[in-house]
């Protein structure tokens, strides 16, 4: 089976959404088409619209409405509108999305240094820089869509930029807490405030891509992308960025839907050993029922509740809470709240979304 055949198989097979686990990786599936971070234009889902039949992919406006329902309030009403104001000027320049990603990562590093120093004015400036960083994080996706510069590697680079900026600010908080409150478990706060928001972002990204892929009838959901990456890596190697993406996506799957791992391994083996027609048929048989089941439920009240839960679990909510905490200086308390509330939100949302996707699949195949 040639590499071209594998690519064709994975691109063309309609696909089953697995019930999951960020940005670009979360938030932006290709240097950012609608994903962890793609607020959609349009109104929220209307309960008066007719329910989708499920046999055909959804219209673009329907997908936009779903995406709008999933965007958290700060991004929807403040950061994305601010990012769009920058577009007309940026389109006249050679600026690329990866340039913007590098800039907002550097801004996060500067904010982290100010937090570590810990003066009152430093916290205020760090808060401003942190918000600028998040606006630019929205902006790189908007710019990618406007300039049609989508790529899986772009999404991974965006994730790396997010990680560098946020980790830098958390390192600054670690140094500040250890200096100000020696009795507090600053290192535990540091790792907790990396892991919990990361889990939140992975949950949001996984299910956002799962739902959007089902509505489009495409194979760019998390499981299909992971299978494609691994097969390509086995057959022709992979770049450093692609290897990072594979590691991230395996972690995402292990955290969110560990019960999907045996199925993923089986699909990878089929892709490496079988011919293109066999692989495509098996992928179709697994994916199509789930996609149809999800499409049939687009305008149900339960689906809207699931989308609103996803808007609460986005990692940006945890980051926003941390940013606002900079204005108080009570970083130890803020870190505790981020960990506690974030863990509860992550566990609840992951359980609800997993059950929802399974119900859609079981109903369709019954």
Are the C-beta atoms of residues 13 and 195 closer than 8 Å to each other? no
- More confident position, 32 or 127: 127
Q: What is the pLDDT of residue 284?
A: 61
Nearest CA to 338 out of 232, 188, 222, 226 is that of 188
Boundaries of every domain in the chain: 3-365
Average pLDDT over residues 75-104: 91
Cα dist from 363 to 281, 295, 356, whole Å: 21, 12, 11
Structure tokens at 38: 């793609």
Confidence label for 276 from pLDDT (cuts 50, 70 and 90): low
Cα dist from 272 to 48, 230, 232, 265, 280, whole Å: 46, 10, 9, 11, 12
Cα dist from 322 to 102, 242, 315, 335, 338, whole Å: 22, 30, 11, 7, 7
Distance (Å, whole) CA 206 – CA 116: 33
Arithmetic mean of pLDDT over the chain? 79
Q: What is the pLDDT of residue 44?
A: 42
Average pLDDT over residues 175-187: 90
Confidence label for 3 from pLDDT (cuts 50, 70 and 90): very low
pLDDT value at 243 more than 60: yes
Q: What is the phi-psi region of residue 6: left when phi exceeds 0, alpha when psi lies from -120 to 50, beta otherwise?
A: alpha
pLDDT value at 301 more than 80: yes
Q: What is the pLDDT of residue 360?
A: 81
Distance (Å, whole) CA 212 – CA 214: 5
Share of the chain above pLDDT 70, in %: 80
Cα dist from 135 to 27, 96, 363, whole Å: 14, 16, 41
Average pLDDT over residues 51-75: 78
| Ranges of H-type helices in the chain | 3-12, 60-70, 73-74, 80-90, 97-117, 120-147, 152-180, 186-216, 222-236, 240-256, 261-273, 276-296, 301-313, 315-326, 331-365
Q: What is the pLDDT of residues 153-163, one digit of tens each?
A: 777 888 889 99
Tell me the range of 9-18, 167-176, 224-233 where mean pLDDT is highest.
Answer: 167-176
Average pLDDT over residues 23-29: 37
pLDDT value at 111 more than 70: yes
Average pLDDT over residues 210-237: 84
Distance (Å, whole) CA 312 – CA 12: 33
CA 59: distance to chain centroid?
22
Average pLDDT over residues 216-237: 83
Share of the chain above pLDDT 90, in %: 24
Q: What fold does the segment set 3-365 form as a domain?
A: 1.20.120
77-91, 100-114, 185-199, 283-297: lowest mean pLDDT where?
A: 283-297
Residue with tokens 């009152």: 120
Q: What is the pLDDT of residue 366?
A: 57
Return all residues near 5 (Cβ < 8 A) that are at least 6 apart. 275, 276
pLDDT value at 53 more than 80: no
Torsions phi, psi of 25, nearest 5? -105, 20
């Amino acid at each position: 089976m040639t590499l071209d055949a594998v690519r064709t198989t994975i691109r063309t097979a309609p696909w089953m959404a697995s019930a999951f686990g960020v940005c670009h990786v979360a938030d932006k599936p290709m240097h950012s088409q609608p994903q962890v971070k793609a607020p959609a234009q349009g109104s929220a889902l209307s309960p008066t619209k007719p329910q989708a039949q499920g046999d055909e992919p959804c219209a673009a406006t329907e997908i936009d409405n779903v995406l709008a329902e999933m965007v958290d309030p700060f991004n929807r009403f403040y950061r994305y509108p601010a990012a769009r104001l920058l577009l007309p000027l940026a389109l006249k320049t050679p600026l690329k999305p990866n340039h913007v990603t590098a800039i907002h990562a550097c801004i996060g590093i500067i904010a982290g240094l100010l937090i570590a120093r810990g003066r009152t004015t430093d916290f205020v400036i760090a808060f401003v820089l942190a918000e600028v960083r998040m606006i630019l994080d929205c902006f790189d996706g908007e710019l990618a869509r406007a300039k049609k510069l989508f790529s899986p590697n772009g999404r991974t680079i965006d994730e790396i930029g997010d990680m560098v900026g946020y980790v830098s600010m958390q390192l600054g908080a670690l140094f500040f807490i250890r200096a100000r409150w020696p009795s507090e478990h600053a290192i535990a706060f540091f790792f907790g405030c990396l892991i919990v928001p990361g889990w939140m972002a992975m949950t949001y990204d996984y299910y956002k891509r799962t739902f959007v892929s089902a509505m489009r009838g495409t194979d760019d959901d998390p499981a299909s992308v992971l299978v494609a990456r691994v097969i390509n890596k086995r057959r022709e190697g992979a770049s450093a960025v692609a290897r990072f993406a594979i590691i991230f996506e395996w972690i995402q799957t292990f955290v969110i839907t560990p019960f999907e791992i045996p199925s993923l391994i089986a699909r990878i083996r089929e892709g490496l050993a079988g011919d293109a027609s066999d692989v495509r048929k098996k992928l179709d048989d697994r994916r199509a029922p789930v996609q149809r089941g999800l499409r049939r439920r687009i305008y149900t009240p339960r689906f809207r509740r699931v989308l609103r839960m996803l808007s609460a679990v986005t990692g940006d909510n945890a980051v926003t809470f941390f940013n606002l905490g900079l204005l108080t200086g009570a970083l130890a308390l803020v870190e505790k709240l981020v960990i506690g509330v974030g863990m509860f939100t992550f566990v609840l949302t992951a359980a609800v979304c997993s059950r929802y996707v399974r119900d859609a699949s079981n109903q369709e195949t019954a």
